Amino acid sequence: MTDDFDDFEIDGEDIDLGNVPDSANPPSARYLCTIAKMEKKKRKDGKGSYINIQFKIDDVLDENLEPFIGRNIFDIFNLGAAALWKMKGVITACRGEGAAKGNRIPNMTGEQLVLDAHEETYQGRVNLRTKNYQDSQDWVGVTMDLTAIDEPMSLGDGGPGEAHNGTNGASSSAAAAMSPAEVEI
């Protein structure tokens, strides 16, 4: 340790380091999210593939979680037959009942859904994972009320304030137009 460092105050707002969360990850909670990115990757052992999904938090149910709006949650979706239930849940939440069929995973980038984030320990490391995927049309949160939207809007950039009724803003023709980016499993 060097002697040329003196105590100092952090510039800006009144900050109390005691109130800063211990983790940079959002806590376990229910969130309204937009799928910001999907990417297919090969497993390290070469035996199959998985999909990484980046979810951007658009809204929260608890005003204490409001600082996490705009942050990201990352999750891995195994493409093994026994684990496809999780990917099916995301597809159904984004595209509706019956959308998860065949052997193709649609590109859902920009689409909105509700999910529960929870901590999971794997090989001694705590990670934030997702589950309980739901359509966003009934969401009433701290900053957004999607139940007040009567007319579907265009898919747009999927940012906060986008209307997403049932298909999360993607009409059947918009969903069909996204098919070239689908992933075959």
**Rounded Cα–Cα distance for residues 73 and 22 (Å):** 17
Q: What pLDDT does 114 receive?
A: 98
pLDDT value for 181: 54
DSSP type of residue 149:
-
Q: Any idea of the CA torsion for 68, 72, 73, 76, to the nearest 10 degrees? A: 180
Q: Which residue has the tokens 């009942």?
A: 97
DSSP string, 3-50: SS----PPSSS---GGGS-S-SSPPSEEEEEEEEEEEEEE-TTSS-EE
Closest to 30 (Cα-Cα) out of 99, 107, 117: 117
| CA 44/CA 27 separation, integer angstroms | 29
CB distance 146 to 140 below 8 Å: yes
**Beta carbons of 113 and 133 less than 8 angstroms apart:** yes
- Cα–Cα distance list, 14 to 10, 19, 21, 63, 66 (Å): 8, 11, 16, 19, 18
Residue 114, strand partner residues: 32, 134
**Tokens coding 73:** 């949650």
pLDDT means per 10 residues, the chain with 185 residues, are 67 70 80 97 91 97 95 94 94 94 94 96 91 96 86 46 40 37 61
Here the tokens at position 19 are: 């109130």
